[in-house]
Amino acid sequence: AQSVAQPEDQVNVAEGNPLTVKCTYSVSGNPYLFWYVQYPNRGLQFLLKYITGDNLVKGSYGFEAEFNKSQTSFHLKKPSALVSDSALYFCAVRKVGTGGYNKLIFGAGTRLAVHP
Amino acid sequence: GAVVSQHPSRVICKSGTSVKIECRSLDFQATTMFWYRQFPKKSLMLMATSNEGSKATYEQGVEKDKFLINHASLTLSTLTVTSAHPEDSSFYICSAPAGGSSYNEQFFGPGTRLTVL
């Protein structure tokens, strides 16, 4: 069964430092992986996705993620954190549903707190 | 990117009443839309898949008679919480896949916060 794990409930980073938000996955077949960000009382915003190709995927707002097949990981990274990056981050994996449509299975979420 | 709207953004209702939440894709067509429920400080739980022109597909454990879904057109899906109770209070979010294909990333609405008194 497809699943996603985000082992950290919260990540604290000082502004200007690099940040990493961890995600590991379990899928049958090739993984389609996504990262989304949620600001308070808002819907989710798409950051980036991995479908195929280069293992390093670049996305919105300076974020990137590295797909590592051997470690079944898809960690989100940013070289220099901003206070405005503070939000809730979700990793997700595509799950093939019945009838041909595809669903997203979300991790539990990681709250990123960037301190000035 | 594509825009998905939800209405209302916030609703407070009395126990026993029904509440309708609308989800619209503003600049693209969506034959499929998804409805999620999010509890405080928790992840999103997929409730159902809304299919234009056919019945919605519900996830295990979600009462289809409680949460009525209608995909009236290629740009509109509605979720009706029938005979709402306080335990139905939650943040409801809809999404639609970009480009009409569920292989693509999903665009999410801003969410609707339902409070049942």
Instruction: Flag whether pLDDT at A98 surpasses 60.
Output: no
Please give the pLDDT value at position B103: 61
Give the confidence band of B106 by pLDDT, cuts at 50, 70, 90.
confident
A102 vs B93, B103, B109: nearest CB = B103
Give the confidence band of A67 by pLDDT, cuts at 50, 70, 90.
very high
Instruction: Flag whether pLDDT at A64 surpasses 90.
Output: yes
DSSP B59-108: PTT--TTTEEEEEEETTEEEEEE-S--GGG-EEEEEEEEGGG-TTSPEEE
Instruction: Flag whether pLDDT at B102 surpasses 60.
Output: no
**Average pLDDT in the B71-94 region?**
95
Flag whether residue A104 sits within 8 Å of chain B, measured between CB atoms. yes
Flag whether residue A58 sits within 8 Å of chain B, measured between CB atoms. no
Q: Distance (Å, rounded) from C-alpha B64 to C-alpha B77? A: 15
**Average pLDDT in the B98-117 region?**
82
Flag whether residue A36 sits within 8 Å of chain B, measured between CB atoms. yes
pLDDT in tens, A30-46: 888 999 999 887 789 99
